[in-house]
Amino acid sequence: MSADWHSHLRQSAQARHEAHRWRQRRVHRQDAQRLDMAGNDYLGLAADPRLAEAAADGARRFGAGARASHLVTGHSTVHEALEEALARLTGRPRALLFSTGYMANLGVIQALCDSGVHLLQDRLNHASLIDGARLSGARSRRYHHNDLDDLARLLDRVPDASRRLVISDGVFSMDGDCADVDGLAELSRRHGAWLMIDDAHGIGVLGENGDGSVGRRLGCERVPVLVGTLGKALGTAGAFVAGDDALIEHLIQFARPYIYTTALPPPVAAATLQSLEIVASEPERRRHLDGLIARFRREATSLKLPLMASATPIQPILLGDEQRTLDWASTLEDAGIRVGAIRPPTVPAGASRLRVTLSAAHDDHDIDRLLEALLTCQKQESATCIGASR
C-alpha cells in the first residue's frame, strides 16, 4: 500500500504550528500612511514613475514576455544593452542575466562545481548559496561567520591538486554586516582559490558609484565571480553574474538555470536600464540613505535598543525570543509600520530579530515614527514585566 501523502502534509503542518513557526502570506496594498520598513527597495526606485514608463515603453517595443529562453529567441537588444550596462557598472568585461537571484547562484555553483571541487562558504550565506552547494556534488564546508582564520584552516586542509571555490555574501541579508572582501580575496589568492561574492544587498547601495562592495574596486583577478540582483536597490527583478569572457561563456554553455528557462521579460530589462541611469545620475539618493542610517543608529543606541553591527540599510534589532519578536512586530504594525519578524529556521535559535530596512524613500519624519513605535514596544514590555512581578 502506498504511503498516505495527505497524512504527511498534515503532520508537517501540525509540527510547524506546534513550533509556532507557521508562515502566512499577507496581501500588502499601497497605503501612503503605512511605512514599508521590511522590503529591500533601498534606493526607493521600485515605485519611481520613470521606471514604470520605461517598462511600459519596453512592453510596447518588445512585448510583455521574452517568448523563449536566451539561447532560442528570447535574447533581445534590450537584454544585450542591460548586460553591457551591468558589466560597466561592475567594471567587468561581461555580465549575464538570470531570471532570479536564486537561479543565478544555483546556476553558477552547478556550472562550476563537481565532486572534484572543494567549496568553502560563510556559515551565514544566503539559502540559495547553501542549496547550490548541496545540489552541486562538490565537497562543501562552511566556515565561521566572517572568520578568515577559520577559512584559512579549512583551505589548508584541501589537497593541493583540488580546485577550490570560496563563496560569501557581500552584505549579509539578516545581519546587515559586510564581508571582508579584501581579506577573502587575498586569502583565496594565496590558496589558489576562486572567490565568488553574492552582492545582492550591496549593488546600488555601496561603493562610490553604487557598484557595491566589490564592483570596480576589485577586478576579475581578485573576485572572479560576482553575482548581483536587480530586485533590491535597483527596484526591478532578476539577477546577473559578472566576470571575464571565459566565465560567462562557460555559464552560457553549462548553467542549467540559465539555459532552460524563459529570458527575463523585456519590460523588466528596460526598466532596469532606466534604474541604472538614475543610480549613476542621482548619487544624492545614497547620501540621503547614509544619513538616515547614521541617524537611526544614533537615536536607537540612545534608546538602548539591541542593534546589531551594521552600517547598511539592513538594521536588525536582536530580540532573541520568538514570541517577543512577533509582539514587537505587531505593535509596529498597529502603528502603521511594516518590519520583518525574522525567526528560526531563517536565523539560529535564540537569534530572532526585527529586520528593519531603511530606504532613500524614507525621511526624518519616518525615522521619528519608527523610533516612537519602538519606544512604545519597550514601554509595553516594561509594564508587562512590572505587572508580572507584583
Tell whether 340 is in a known binding site.
no
Q: What cell numbers appear for 260 in the block?
A: 532552460
- Please calculate the CA angle 187-311-122 and round it to the nearest 5 degrees: 35
Rounded CA-CA distance 242/174 in Å is 24
Give the number of C-alpha atoms closer than 13 A to the C-alpha of residue 301, restricted to the C-beta side.
9
Rounded CA-CA distance 112/250 in Å is 8
Q: What cell numbers appear for 148 in the block?
A: 578568515
Rounded CA-CA distance 258/239 in Å is 11
Single out the catalytic residue among 136, 173, 188, 310.
Answer: 173
Tell whether 70 is in a known binding site.
no
Asked whether the CA dihedral 231, 234, 235, 238 is positive or negative, the reply is negative
145: helix, strand or coil: coil
Tell whether 301 is in a known binding site.
no
- Please calculate the CA angle 161-167-170 and round it to the nearest 5 degrees: 150
Q: Write out the chain's pLDDT in tens, 390 residues.
A: 467 999 999 999 999 998 888 888 888 777 767 899 999 999 999 999 999 999 999 999 999 999 999 999 999 999 999 999 999 999 999 999 999 999 999 999 999 999 999 999 999 999 999 999 999 999 999 999 999 999 999 999 999 878 999 999 999 999 999 999 999 999 999 999 999 999 999 999 999 899 999 989 999 999 999 999 999 999 999 999 999 999 999 999 999 999 999 999 999 999 999 999 999 999 999 999 999 999 999 999 999 999 999 999 999 999 999 999 999 999 999 999 999 999 999 999 999 999 999 999 999 999 999 999 999 999 998 877 666 655
What are the b/e assignments for 60-75, b being 16+ CB within 10 Å? eebeeebeebbeeebb
pLDDT value at residue 99: 96
| Residue 114 CB contacts under 8 Å (≥ 6 apart), including other chains | 136, 137, 138
Rounded CA-CA distance 354/305 in Å is 11
| Cβ atoms of 123 and 103 closer than 8 Å | no
The residue among 4, 8, 38, 9 whose CA lies nearest residue 342 is 38
Tell whether 201 is in a known binding site.
yes
Q: In what order do the strands lie in the sheet with 163-169?
A: 94-98, 239-243, 225-229, 194-198, 163-169, 117-122, 139-143
* Domain topology for 49-281: Aspartate Aminotransferase; domain 2 (3.40.640)
Tell whether 126 is in a known binding site.
yes
Active site residue 232: yes
Long-range contacts (CB closer than 8 Å, 24 or more residues apart) made by 133-137: 133/109, 133/167, 135/106, 135/109, 135/110, 136/109, 136/110, 136/112, 137/113
* Domain topology for 283-389: Aspartate Aminotransferase, domain 1 (3.90.1150)
How large is the angle between the packed helices 77-90 and 266-281, nearest 10 degrees?
30
200: helix, strand or coil: coil
Tell whether 389 is in a known binding site.
no
Give me the residue spans of the domains in the chain.
Answer: 49-281, 283-389
The torsion angles phi and psi of 177, rounded to 5 degrees, stand at -85, 165
pLDDT value at residue 385: 67
Rounded CA-CA distance 74/236 in Å is 19
Single out the catalytic residue among 70, 232, 288, 362.
Answer: 232
The residue among 243, 240, 222, 224 whose CA lies nearest residue 232 is 240
Single out the catalytic residue among 201, 310, 352, 362.
Answer: 201
Rounded CA-CA distance 247/164 in Å is 15
